[in-house]
């Protein structure tokens, strides 16, 4: 039987998840379809994780509007969904008089965009605030409302909250064709057919394809790769703020920042893709960002990197593309959501929900909508007393599986029983950090796999690292299990 939700959301990045959460307030049926095996597998899982203040986008643009509003929304959302969020503030460093003029221009832009709490600092003030910044910095724009977040954790938290309120999430389900009908759409996926009254296109780098499938605008999405280096948590405290250089034609440039999880991150580069979907990192790319980052912090350690990754920016012209398609009005476009899309997502979602209400007509708010979500307890951060209480309730919280990140069996089982469980090694890693530390899962992966197999009721051979074809067990020594 063909499923018939009111709304199909295409794409499980931060934008799709934020929209799903916003729509879950209302008495309507919504399904989110994601081509990959988990949430946040596109740009939302591989970015800088900065909640930007909003001084950068052009005044009057959608980017400016949603950035500033999104920035204001995050503290409350994070408190409600138990997402770690640190309002660290950001610095844009200037190394010469020309760049000081750019700092002044960004400050003026920020004022025009309505960004509160900005200051222009002298070199001395910068060094007092952030001693690791290069002595060569003459001054900086200091934006106190900027912050850091884990982008995939934010996506997962919003999705879990939406799922708890009734939105369905379907993974490994790629939309392959869309047919417009009199009262909506028939959507063909690699798993079957669904019909819906409205489609919301949040397919990131593939938003142009979805638009074309629906017979809507020819959106031209340009892709650019951004590489990062992630450092161990033992140097996570190297800097306390998000440190940018003045932007150039390639965007905001290479930053040095603490992450919400307590690591140190440098990047991103800005490179053409070798092929579609290319997220490989290269030694050349890593060297480039290291040299760039050293301009901001000369004492940046050469050792201590634990991994590298890359994300793909999906740019569509100079601004976000948001709203009902002019050609196919029941298709809502949320395309070209490049930076500051992570910051903007909650604000975009509010406006999309308003648009959906207008389109569907007479949509009621649920009386029992739950706007909070309980995160997995982070045992590492608990006091001994709190750990004892937790272990008395459930002894699994006393069994450490990931030694680098101090993640327990209780935490792993918790995430596998969440509202949007994903039974893969990487899914567990993104949800509770097992395997995210210095050894990158070398020690804990076998145990994590056993727990996944138990919770999902599958065999060890079926447990995957990520998507199809990433099974880890290929056979048994001497043919024995």
Ligand X SMILES: Cc1cc2nc3c(=O)[nH]c(=O)nc-3n(C[C@H](O)[C@H](O)[C@H](O)COP(=O)(O)OP(=O)(O)OC[C@H]3O[C@@H](n4cnc5c(N)ncnc54)[C@H](O)[C@@H]3O)c2cc1C
* Residues acting as catalytic residues: 52
The label of the residue with tokens 């450092």 reads 231
Q: Does 253 bind ligand X (CB under 6 A)?
A: no
Nearer to ligand X by C-beta: 43 or 451?
A: 43
Which token pair is 368?
A: 């029992």
Kindly state the smallest distance separating residue 63's Cβ from ligand X, in Å. 10
Comparing CB distances to ligand X, the nearer of 253 and 377 is 253
Q: Does 50 bind ligand X (CB under 6 A)?
A: yes
Q: Residue from 21, 25, 36, 465 that binds ligand X (CB under 6 A)?
A: 36
Neighbouring C-alpha atoms within 13 Å toward the C-beta of 303: 2
**Calpha distance 451→431 (Å, rounded):** 14
* Length reported for the chain: 481
- Which of 258, 304, 311, 421 lies at the binding interface for ligand X (CB under 6 A)? 311
Taking CB under 6 A as the criterion, which residues in 209-248 touch ligand X? 210, 226
Using the contact rule CB under 6 A, the part of the chain among 27-35, 367-375, 413-421, 453-461 near ligand X is 27-35
Q: Do 16 and 9 contact (CB within 8 A), yes or no?
A: yes
| Residue of 288, 341, 292, 286 whose CA lies nearest to 312 | 341
When asked if residue 145 is in the footprint of ligand X (CB under 6 A), the reply is: no
Q: How many residues bind ligand X (CB under 6 A)?
A: 40
Region of 39-47, 275-283, 284-292, 380-388 interacting with ligand X (CB under 6 A): 39-47
Shortest separation between residue 29's beta carbon and ligand X, angstroms: 18
- Cβ proximity to ligand X: between 150 and 445 the closer is 150
For residue 422, what are its two tokens?
């994903």
Among 16, 54, 123, 377, binds ligand X (CB under 6 A): 16
The pattern of x and - marking residues 324 through 343 that bind ligand X according to CB under 6 A reads: -------------xxxxxxx
Would you count residue 5 as binding ligand X (CB under 6 A)? Answer: no
- Of the pair 203, 432, the CB lying nearest ligand X is at 203
Task: Calculate the alpha carbon distances from 5 to 155, 184, 459 in Å.
Answer: 22, 11, 33
Q: Which of residues 265-294 bind ligand X (CB under 6 A)?
A: 268
Taking the CA atoms of 340, 345, 348 and 350 in sequence, report the sign of the dihedral they define: negative
Asked whether the beta carbons of 32 and 159 are under 8 A apart, the reply is yes
Q: How far is the CB of 40 from ligand X (least distance, A)?
A: 6
44 binds ligand X (CB under 6 A): yes
**Could you tell me the CA-to-CA distances from 105 to 58, 60, 100, 136, 355 in Å, in that order?**
11, 16, 9, 21, 35
> What is the separation of C-alpha 114 from the centre of its chain, rounded to a whole number of angstroms?
25
Bridge pairing between strands 192-196 and 198-201 = unpaired
Task: Please check whether residue 154 is in contact with residue 126, taking contact to mean a CB–CB distance below 8 angstroms.
Answer: no
To the nearest 10 degrees (0 to 180), the angle between helices 151-164 and 14-23 is: 30
The piece of 156-164, 308-316, 429-437, 438-446 that touches ligand X (CB under 6 A) is 308-316
Q: Which residues in this chain contact ligand X in the complex, by CB under 6 A?
A: 10-16, 33-36, 41-44, 47-50, 52, 174-175, 202-206, 210, 226, 268, 311-313, 337-343
């Amino acid at each position: 039987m063909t499923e018939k939700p009111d709304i199909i959301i295409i794409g499980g990045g931060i934008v799709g998840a934020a929209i799903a959460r916003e729509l879950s307030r209302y008495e309507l049926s919504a399904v989110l379809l994601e081509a990959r095996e988990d949430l946040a597998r596109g740009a939302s899982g591989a970015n800088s994780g900065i909640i930007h203040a909003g001084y950068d986008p052009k005044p009057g643009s959608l980017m400016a509007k949603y950035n500033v509003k999104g920035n204001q929304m995050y503290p409350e959302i994070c408190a409600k969904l138990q997402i770690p969020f640190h309002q660290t503030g950001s610095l844009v460093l200037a190394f010469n008089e020309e760049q000081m003029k750019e700092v002044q221009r960004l400050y003026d832009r920020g004022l025009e965009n309505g960004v509160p709490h900005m200051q222009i600092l002298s070199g001395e003030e910068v060094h007092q605030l952030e001693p690791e910044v290069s002595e060569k910095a003459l001054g900086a724009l200091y934006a106190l409302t900027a912050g850091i977040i884990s982008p995939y954790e934010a996506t997962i938290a919003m999705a879990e909250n939406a799922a708890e309120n009734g939105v369905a999430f379907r993974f490994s389900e790629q939309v392959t064709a869309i047919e417009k009908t009199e009262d909506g759409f028939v959507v063909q996926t690699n798993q079957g057919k669904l019909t819906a009254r409205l489609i919301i296109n949040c397919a990131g780098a593939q938003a142009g394809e979805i638009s074309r499938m629906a017979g809507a605008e020819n959106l031209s999405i340009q892709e650019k790769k951004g590489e990062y280096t992630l450092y161990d948590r033992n140097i996570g405290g190297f800097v306390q703020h998000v440190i940018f250089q003045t932007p150039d034609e390639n965007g905001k440039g290479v930053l040095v920042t603490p992450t919400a999880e307590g690591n140190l991150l440098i990047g991103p580069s800005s490179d053409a893709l070798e092929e579609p979907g290319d997220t490989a990192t290269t030694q050349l790319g890593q060297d480039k960002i290291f040299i760039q980052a050293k301009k901001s912090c000369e004492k940046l350690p050469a050792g201590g990197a634990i991994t590298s990754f890359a994300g793909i920016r999906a740019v569509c012209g100079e601004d976000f593309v948001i709203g009902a398609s002019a050609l196919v009005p029941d298709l809502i476009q949320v395309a070209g959501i490049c930076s500051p899309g992570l910051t903007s997502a909650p604000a975009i979602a509010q406006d999309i929900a308003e648009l959906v209400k207008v389109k569907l007509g007479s949509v009621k708010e649920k009386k029992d909508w739950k706007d909070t979500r309980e995160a997995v307890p982070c045992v590492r951060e608990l006091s001994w007393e709190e750990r004892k209480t937790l272990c008395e309730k459930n002894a699994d919280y006393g069994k450490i599986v990931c030694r680098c990140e101090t993640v327990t069996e209780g935490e792993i089982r918790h995430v596998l029983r969440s509202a949007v469980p994903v039974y893969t090694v990487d899914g567990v890693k993104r949800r509770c950090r097992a395997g995210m530390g210095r050894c990158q899962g070398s020690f804990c992966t076998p145990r994590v796999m056993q727990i996944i197999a138990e919770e999902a009721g599958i065999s060890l051979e079926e447990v995957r690292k990520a998507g199809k074809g990433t099974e880890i067990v290929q056979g048994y020594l001497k043919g024995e299990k």
